Amino acid sequence: MFESAELGHSISKKSFDKKVPILRANLLDTQYDLSQAANFPVIILIGGVDGAGKSETVSVLNEWMNPRHIYTHAFGELSDEERDRPPNWRFWRALPPKGKIGILYGSWYSAPILRRVYGKTNNDRLDQSIEKIVRLERMLTDEGALIFKFWFHLSKDQQKQRLKALEKSEKTRWRVTPTDWERFELYDKFRKISEHTLRQTSMAASPWVVVEGADHYYRSLTVGNIILEAIRKRLDKPQRQRRVEAPPIVPSIDNLKLLRTLNLRQKITKSKYESELEKYQGKLKLLARHDKFKKMSSIVVFEGVDAGGKGGAIRRVTAALDARYCHIIPIAAPSDEERAQPYLWRFWRQLPRRGRVAIFDRSWYGRVLVERVEGYCTPADWMRAYTEINDFEAELVEHRSIVVKFWLAIDKDEQLKRFKEREKTRFKRFKITPDDWRNRKKWDEYESAVCDMVDRTSTEIAPWTLVEANDKYYARVKILKTLCREIEAGLDK
């Protein structure tokens, strides 16, 4: 893949000086149009050989365009805060919103390549990382992102000359570190592994562009022109809405649905409830204080029909936890800031550090529930969301997060009873809205969506627990028991 980037590409200073003013003006105009349209984000990944002009190119892009609308992030060693979250957390936080440009200097490619070069992983693990990257980038492009991937290349001789030239000048000597020379000694290995990675991840929607980095004028004009042309093309000819290629999800021909098999009549007495509540709240408290839990985290998801008892169940869980290490995240309709980002962005940013518990009162499953039923997204969006959600939760579990998901189920008669009680009770009136009554009219549609959701996202690593919640006492105890069991199992791994 690197042959054409070793031909000695160059541009004269005279030609460069003539072309730059026009290019800069066009880039600024296009950047302004991008900001005004705010239809899609632009993500620029910068990678390549040490000394090939990566940092200089980032500086040039910030100089040629308006830096106020560019989010530039250079990724180095992980901070303590980043180590406490899954590896991609740092990158999700750096994603630009629609209408902005994000430059990621060092990206999700850096760690897999470095680990393989230094022998910390094998080829199979590298390929697993590559597959995750492919799925991540596919999700970002499906969400509308325009992704540029630039790999700045130098031949082995060119890199050696470049590093020596930088070392020779007092102004640039600081830029060459022992690590740069250490990596130079591994040049052949870096080249082989990088070429394999680029070949596997150069896709139609996000291809790699290999740029010869020896000549400053050539690489700057090349990158600037590629960015200009692609953004201009997207602005002038917006993408058509994608069609779903997979067969649609159809209801069971015998109309037998999972939720209808639940025994919602299960009850326990108040005295038993109080005894069990005390028992399992105490157990949960001890588990959350266990030394092993400091190296883990727990993410608890509460979903259910309106008036299903999520709030009361959450209060019984939090009563057993130290408020300093427990965070409740209520999820409502996305804000303007959240709508400007990929769908999962607002959930990634809320992930807890190790030793903490995050409780989501509604969650990322809104895409395959309310957004599906109410038509807030296309069938293509919610159908691909099943895979994206499973990938997301797999990353959480891989990072030693215990993911526990509850669906609280009640029948229509019980819901109607609770709605009327809320309307009559002064301190509960805020809990009933016109949307609740409107959603009730779509009971069957929501029921089908929930059954599909459970079928497609109840995995061996993050299964759904269906909670029979007509009786609040029974539901709360089952939730506490399940949470204790899952955390205890996680501690034993």
pLDDT tens digit sequence for 227-249:
999 999 999 987 766 666 666 77
Residues 225, 266 within the same domain: no
Residues 296, 203 within the same domain: no
- The answer as to whether 471 is a domain residue is yes
CA 446 to CA 451: how far, in whole Å?
Answer: 9
Nearest to 453 by CA among 375, 391, 364: 364
- The answer as to whether 253 is a domain residue is no
pLDDT of residue 35: 97
Q: What is the residue range of 188's domain?
A: 3-236
pLDDT of residue 371: 96
pLDDT of residue 245: 63
- Contact yes or no for 327/352 (Cβ under 8 A): yes
Tell me the mean pLDDT in the region 276-284.
98
Task: List 343's β-bridge partners, or say none.
Answer: none
How many distinct structural domains can be found in the chain? 2
- The answer as to whether 241 is a domain residue is no
CA 218 to CA 165: how far, in whole Å?
Answer: 19
Between 8 and 426, the more confident residue is 8
Instruction: Read off the DSSP letter of residue 380.
Output: H
pLDDT of residue 172: 86
- Contact yes or no for 392/333 (Cβ under 8 A): no
- The answer as to whether 89 is a domain residue is yes
- The answer as to whether 141 is a domain residue is yes
Nearest to 216 by CA among 154, 147, 169, 173: 154
Residues 92, 220 within the same domain: yes
Write phi, then psi, for 246 (nearest 5 degrees): -75, 155
Residues 49, 94 within the same domain: yes
- Contact yes or no for 102/94 (Cβ under 8 A): yes
CATH of the domain at 60: 3.40.50.300
Between 435 and 354, the more confident residue is 354
- Does 386 have pLDDT greater than 90? yes
List own/partner pairs for 248-252 with CB under 8 A and 24 or more apart. 248/379, 249/383, 249/452, 251/448
Task: List 102's β-bridge partners, or say none.
Answer: 43, 71
CA 334 to CA 21: how far, in whole Å?
Answer: 41
- The answer as to whether 247 is a domain residue is no
Q: What is the mean pLDDT of the chain?
A: 94
pLDDT tens digit sequence for 428-468:
777 778 888 888 999 999 999 999 999 999 999 999 999 99
Q: What percent of the chain has pLDDT over 70?
A: 98
- The answer as to whether 302 is a domain residue is yes
Write phi, then psi, for 45 (nearest 5 degrees): -95, 130
pLDDT tens digit sequence for 116-147:
999 999 999 999 999 999 999 999 999 999 99
Residues 121, 194 within the same domain: yes
Structure tokens at 47: 């990678």
CA 376 to CA 449: how far, in whole Å?
Answer: 14
pTM above 0.85, yes or no: yes
Measured from the Cβ of residue 273, the count of other Cβ atoms closer than 10 Å reads 17
Structure tokens at 54: 């990566």
pLDDT tens digit sequence for 52-74:
999 999 999 999 999 999 999 99
- The answer as to whether 71 is a domain residue is yes
